[in-house]
Structure 1
Amino acid sequence: MDSKTYLAIFRENGLIRSELVLIVEEQIKIFSKHGFTELAEETKWLAIEVAEIEKQEKILLKRYG
């Protein structure tokens, strides 16, 4: 999925890109940079799943800054 679709999923589902999600997104960038596109794709879904769990459990790690 491209970044627009990824961000649209967050918007449409009222998900927050918490500190933990941002850390996972850094891993996505690393995978993509080194040609591990399948792992990058799987990790995008992991980030979405983390955000859904945080929303459901009302857990949100604060962003810095």
Structure 2
Amino acid sequence: MSDEERWDGVRWRRQQADETWDFLCADPLGQLMAVLEQIGRAVGRDLVVVRQWTYSFRAGGP
């Protein structure tokens, strides 16, 4: 499955948001660059994905 196909899947995007949040909580400074890369990929998708991730992270986690 290509990266494009994965990002099209709602379930996969949700799992990525959960995993990204867990990495950030476990080691905020050590995982910051990896988390920012994932957020950048989410932002590159579409406005719906950006809103989902923004809402999740503002709310304190997915």
Per the normalisation by structure 2, the TM-score is 0.43
Q: Kindly name which structure, 1 or 2, has the bigger radius of gyration based on alpha carbons.
A: 1
Greater length-normalized contact order (CA 8 Å, ≥ 6 residues apart): 1
Structure with a larger share of its residues in helix: 2
Per the normalisation by structure 1, the TM-score is 0.41
